[in-house]
Amino acid sequence: MKTLKIAFIGVGNMGEAMLSAILNKGLASPQTISVSDVDKTRLQSIGQRYGVIAASSNRLAVEGGEIVILAIKPQNLAEVMAELKGQFNPSQLVLSIIAGVKIGTLCLGLGHRRVVRVMPNTPARIGEGISVWTATPEVSKQQKGWVSAILGIMGKEIYVDDEKYLDMATAVSGSGPAYVFLFVESLVDAAIQIGLPREVAQELVLQTLLGSGHLLQKSGKDPAELRRMVTSRGGTTAAALEQFEKGEFAALVKRAVEAAYNRARELGS
């Protein structure tokens, strides 16, 4: 694939993760990437760290960019859209990773129709993420290929043809790492409570999490089947699972995901 010309509007944590991955995989060179950010100190730091072009304004950043990546905070969107409306040429692709902001809002606010909306998650920082995305009908096959390539270097990517699935993905994969971190934190604390040293508890929990995930991924079995395989009647695992059931663990997870989904829909309304 050819070297792309890319503009970043905003370079927060996820934006920087994308920038770093794009450069590391050679999808673009520092000379073909321009960035802008409301935080001028951070902008200068990013420019020096990666050798990219630090633009003095959003308008200058988007000039000549084949792909314009919107990686700003939602609260800054109205100002950015007012500045950039009418500044795009018809062939430019706008890729948004702004949480909760719908494609229709972006198209109207930017006066532009070639728009992709992406829901990434934080493991993308180490190339182990998963991104769900969709696009307007005006986005070309070639441009979809560019998006797939960019998201692919951050982990796995799933294209959906209906935007409604992005709010659902937000509640599952977007917020999901925090659920996992909370469970790990709780399991480590429980291990310490029964007497394990913290460093031992952390290593046991982390490797158990990683190994179980890889087993689930590679075994070809569904999670319920694997759970039954490691649960002997009257054994230690059964005793633990009984407590999860008494605490309505499955129902609690469902309520948490529903709460995240409803909040995602509120943010996009």
**In this predicted model, what pLDDT tens digit does every residue of 121-149 receive, in sequence order?**
999 988 999 999 999 999 999 999 999 99
Q: Is the pLDDT of residue 184 over 70?
A: yes
% of the chain exceeding 90 in pLDDT: 89
Tokens of 93: 């692709």
* CA distance readout (Å), 48 to 30, 44, 56, 239: 11, 6, 14, 56
Tally Cβ neighbours within 10 Å of residue 245: 11
Q: Across the chain, what does the average pLDDT equal?
A: 94
DSSP bridge partners of 67: 6, 93
Confidence of residue 202 (pLDDT cuts 50, 70, 90): very high
d(CA 26, CA 2): 9
Q: Which residues contact 7 (CB under 8 A, 6 or more apart)?
A: 33, 34, 35, 36, 55, 61, 62, 63, 65, 67, 68, 69
Confidence of residue 175 (pLDDT cuts 50, 70, 90): very high
Q: What is the CATH number of domain 6-169?
A: 3.40.50.720
Q: What is the CATH number of domain 176-268?
A: 1.10.3730.10
Q: Is the pLDDT of residue 99 over 90?
A: no
d(CA 198, CA 201): 5
Confidence of residue 1 (pLDDT cuts 50, 70, 90): low
pLDDT of residue 13: 86
Residue type, 13: N
Q: Which residues contact 117 (CB under 8 A, 6 or more apart)?
A: 96, 101, 102, 103, 106, 133, 134, 135, 163, 166
Higher pLDDT, 99 or 161: 161
Q: Is the pLDDT of residue 12 over 80?
A: yes
Please, what sign has the CA dihedral across residues 134, 139, 141, 146? Answer: negative
% of the chain exceeding 70 in pLDDT: 99
Q: Where are the domains of the chain?
A: 6-169, 176-268
Q: Which of 117, 110, 115, 112 is nearest to 151 (CA)?
A: 117
Mean pLDDT of 62-91: 93
Contact yes or no for 169/155 (Cβ under 8 A) = no
d(CA 4, CA 152): 15
Q: Is the pLDDT of residue 178 over 90?
A: yes
* CA distance readout (Å), 96 to 29, 99, 111, 198, 243: 21, 9, 15, 41, 43
